Amino acid sequence: MDEPKRPIRVLVAEDSAVVARVLVDVLTSDPEIEVVGIARDGSEAITLTKSLTPDLITMDVRMPKVDGLVATRKIMEETPTPIVIVSASVNVQDMNITFEALRAGALDIIEKPRGVGHKDYEEVRGRLVRAVKLMSEIKVVRRWPEGKFRRPSRLPRAVLKRREEGRVVFIGCSTGGPAALEAILGRLPAHFAAPIVVVQHIAPGFIGGLVEWLSHVTPLKVKIAEVGETPAAGTVYFAGDAYHLVIDAGGRLALDDGPPERGHKPAIDRLLTTGASVWGGRCIGILLTGMGMDGVDGLREIRHAGGRTIAQDEKTSVIYGMPKEAVAAGVVDKVSALTDIGPELIALTA
């Protein structure tokens, strides 16, 4: 007879007693999750991680003494543990802390549940429980302290030669995507000779913060896509919440209110497939870290249309899910380490 499965042991880092109680209630509503401790600040989170060795930590960003970013960095340096950032704040400072925490090794962002009576409670509860179950299985690695190694410098801001009909870059990513995008976009020159259009799977309400954060790490213009825009070189366009981002027959950005695809809206496949139908061989499709299969069909369409396709490699992926599925499907021209993708884009668009 099989032994019962051990519960997922979670440490909750949250300074508000009320919110901590809600989080405990949400997590323990699932019999497969056990809350083993509550940390009231980042310093306590660091200490309890060492003594309790939880399977996962839910981390608030704004806490007294030591905030969620510093706590995440310290934990990933000393006691690597899967961390999910749980945040209700949309102000710029807290958003920056949140995305810096992802760069420091946190795996995902989930919005805070707002109590049983709130209209979105069940939906948010479900997202948090699913995230805890999925992220607890990820094998995280030790991160070196900030400053131990120099981050790669941006590539020179040279003026690149442009093709008569330039390339268009499409990127799809999920868990681990924000840090991967920072690594790629942060190394591209200001005069990068192609537009970049991105679908990032992320919890509702956080895409604006991601755009704001990335705008400080790349010389490119970064924005939420607007209906009717024609993608321009040197600009990065992100799909917003609630709609699929697509390319219309005239090569303009458009929104589609169709049903989710593979559970996602916006879906990577919708963007890549419509892009391939309009620009064909001019497309470069890139699939980065993340779970599931979204983007595989889109890469297939780009490849069939004569475009180029790239998948992030296993070693540099937080989750080697979508890229692995694309490679297995035979729709990838090249598998690349994260640090190589920026230079490859420059070569392909020069």
**H or E element that contains 87:** strand 83-87
Alpha-helical regions (H) of the chain = 17-28, 42-52, 68-78, 92-104, 121-135, 177-185, 207-214, 268-279, 296-304, 322-328, 338-349
Q: Quote the pLDDT of residue 24.
A: 96
Q: List the CATH number of the domain containing 281.
A: 3.40.50.180
Q: What's the rounded mean pLDDT across residues 2-30?
A: 91
Give the length of the chain.
Answer: 350
174 catalytic per annotation: yes
Residue 294's domain spans which residues? Answer: 168-349
Catalytic one of 136, 174, 317, 336 = 174
Q: Are residues 331 and 196 in the same domain?
A: yes
Domain boundary among 135, 158, 186: 135
pTM over 0.85: yes
Tokens 């409670």 belong to residue:
121
172 and 315 share a domain?
A: yes
The residue from 41, 201, 269, 317 that is catalytic is: 201
Within this chain, do residues 205 and 321 fall inside the same structural domain, yes or no?
yes
pLDDT score for 37: 98
Mean pLDDT of 207-218: 95
Instruction: Tell me, yes or no, whether 226 and 315 share the same domain.
Output: yes
Among 124-128, 137-141, 242-246, which stretch is predicted with the lowest mean pLDDT? 137-141
| Mean per-residue pLDDT, 256-264 | 95
What's the structural domain count of the chain? 2
The answer on pLDDT for 47 being more than 70 is: yes
Is the pLDDT confidence value at 348 over 80?
yes
pLDDT attached to residue 121: 83
How far apart are the C-alpha atoms of 220 and 174, rounded to whole Å?
21
pLDDT at 116 over 80: no
Residue 164 has pLDDT above 90, yes or no: no
Give me the catalytic one of 15, 41, 94, 294. Answer: 294
Query: What would the two tokens of residue 66 be?
Result: 């030591």
* Contact in structure between 23 and 86 (CB atoms under 8 Å): yes
Q: Work out the mean pLDDT of the chain and round it to a whole number.
A: 91
| Domain match, 122 and 177 both | no
Question: Is 241 assigned a catalytic role?
Answer: no
